[in-house]
Amino acid sequence: MKRTTFALALAAVAISNGFALLHVWLNRTGTPAASLTLRDSRATPPRGQQTDLDFRLPWHVQHGPWLSLDTLRQLGFDCSVGLTDPRADVFYRRQPPRKVFVAGELQNEKAGALLPTSELMLFDAALDADALRGRYPDASKTVVLPAVLNLRLVTAHEGELQPQLTADVNGLSTQIHIPKPFSDQIRANHFAPHLLHLNFGRFHEPWVTGVDFPGHP
Amino acid sequence: MADREEAQAQANRIRNLQAALSNTEVASVLDLSSEQRERFAHWAAGHLAELERDFDVDLTPGQGSMSWGLRIASALGGVALSASLVLLFHRYWGDFDTWLQVLFVLAAPLAFLAAAEYAAKREHTRYFAGLLSLIALAAFILDLSVLGQAFNITPTERSLLAWGIFALALAYRYGQRLLLIIGLLFLISYGCAAVTATLGFHWLDFGTRPEHALVIAILVWGVPLRLAHQRHPSFEPVYRAVGIIVFFVAVTALSEGSPVSYLPLVPETVRVFYEVLGIVVAAGAIWLGIRRQWSGQANLGALFFCTLLISRFYHWWWDWMPAWLFFAIIGGFGVGVVIALKRLRRPA
């Protein structure tokens, strides 16, 4: 028993680290699923005493229902109850969420002006990542990410004229760590606005491949 | 002898017997000869010395108080040093290359595990082994967290499983109840998160579905019924206490908050159902605790019984009843509980 517990403790460390590193290696080998260039205008160093740098990619969906009823049905949601039906609120609130893949387009500009920091606009979803990538093959503009969707009925008292069915996005992982030597370059340039080059691997997890400072020699 | 707790209990029994025999009234009733008294004194001194040597048991009330102080200091020291390790790493890790970060976080839990093993071999009381194993767990938590952050790995519930197994392995190896509590809480969280993820929800939403915790807490409570802890008898009350606390925290969340329930009932009925269930189960826990002499379970049951019943009284009466009358009823209820528990405590 005594030896077993010690071996178990060692195995917990070895197996979990082994799996994590294998996962990273598998994610980063082969052709990247997407390669994006983001604008980051964060001009302040990290807060507190932390020395690591990371970047949180802002994302949004368009106001109101961003997925059609047909898409929601294809994702497995039951949309059979009319939106004005008195049972609709409880019916749609009780629907279990769906693990899906969402497609996001990188936006660097808004209404003719440059955005200080790139944003991701989510615009489509599917159960199969490859099918979604097939619909939007431009891997330099569109990224496919895993997410969880919850169905929600937007009722008239929430400012809408008619009840609408929308999907709330959960579990989207958009925190990106900036390792050395790129973090050193950002620090050396006093956190000046920069471009971050990212690759997304087979598990849709990103990593930084370069950093540029436009306008700097 | 299984562990220090059992050795301490045996030492306490011998000391009680010594004290009883030194009482003139008891001595006159037993009427032992001087040879018998001497033989007992010789045996007791030898056995206590043996227990002290092998298990470092406390032989005086002063030593007992000191042991509690040592245990608390060891736990607090472990927590503080763990926090220090995490903060130290976060203070400097941005200065290291990724491969160095990985090497450090991978080596840290193994180094503290080796240090705990060394300390356990050097001392019987395991205060330093307990402290170092707590830091080893903190280092392992830091390890997987840093790997996740450094490589942008999508967080999963499986980390909770790894931490739970590691904490439980250390708890059993060094006889540490604090690590057992932490390990069980990790495994309960993992169970809840895994079920939540399997049902299609995001695993981090496991806190919003307390019914999963309710079922897993019953399983944890039942572990000592299936698995006898001969080497660590003091672990059995820990399983029961963790099971009861998690069960009643889940019941409280279901009866007081706005929970998402699997019951096909309207939210108000769900709340009342779980409040009544909680009161009934708490009463059952008190009864079983007294019957089986599980004092921890009886006390926790009494605590949650009173809390849930007072909460129900509040929902029923607070809005329309004068405050003085409400508190008078609560006071009367407290007196009633004391009378009922005294009757239950009476030997059959």
The pairing of beta strand A194-200 with beta strand A34-40: antiparallel
pLDDT of residue A200: 93
CB B274 within 8 A of CB B255: yes
A158: pLDDT strictly greater than 80: no
Q: Which residue of B has its CA nearest to A184?
A: B95
CB A101 within 8 A of CB A144: yes
Per-residue pLDDT band for A156 (boundaries 50, 70, 90) equals low
Return d(Cα B108, Cα B140) in angstroms, integer. 7
Tell whether B264 is within 8 A of chain A (Cβ): no
Window from A17-21, A69-73, B258-262 with minimum mean pLDDT:
B258-262
**DSSP states of B292-335 as a string?**
HT-HHHHHHHHHHHHHHHHHHHHHHHTTTS-HHHHHHHHHHHHH
Size of interface A-B (CB pairs under 8 A): 118
Average pLDDT over residues A178-189: 88
In this prediction, the residues of chain B whose per-residue pLDDT falls under 50 are none
Per-residue pLDDT band for A44 (boundaries 50, 70, 90) equals low
Return d(Cα B247, Cα B270) in angstroms, integer. 16
Is ipTM beyond 0.95?
no
CB A109 within 8 A of CB B210: no
Distance to chain B for A24, nearest Cα, Å: 7
Which residues neighbour B78 within 8 Å (Cβ) at sequence distance 6 or greater?
B130, B131, B132, B133, B134, B135, B178
Which residue blocks in chain B are alpha helix, DSSP H? 4-22, 24-30, 34-55, 61-92, 98-122, 127-150, 158-174, 177-198, 210-226, 235-256, 267-292, 295-317, 323-345
A114: pLDDT strictly greater than 60: yes
Query: For the segment B175-230, what is each residue's pLDDT rounded down to a tens digit?
Result: 899 999 999 999 999 999 999 888 878 888 888 888 999 999 999 999 988 888 88
Per-residue pLDDT band for A21 (boundaries 50, 70, 90) equals very high
CB atoms within 10 A of CB A107: 16
Percentage of residues of chain A with pLDDT beyond 90: 32
A49: pLDDT strictly greater than 80: no
Distance to chain A for B335, nearest Cα, Å: 44
A217: pLDDT strictly greater than 80: no
Closest CA to A211 of A53, A19, A45: A53
Which residues neighbour A118 within 8 Å (Cβ) at sequence distance 6 or greater?
A38, A39, A40, A57, A58, A106, A107, A108
pLDDT of residue B309: 85
CB B300 within 8 A of CB B239: no
A205:B204 CB<8 A: no
Tell whether B111 is within 8 A of chain A (Cβ): no
A43: pLDDT strictly greater than 60: no
CA dihedral B191, A6, B85, A173 (to 10 degrees): -30
pLDDT of residue A201: 92
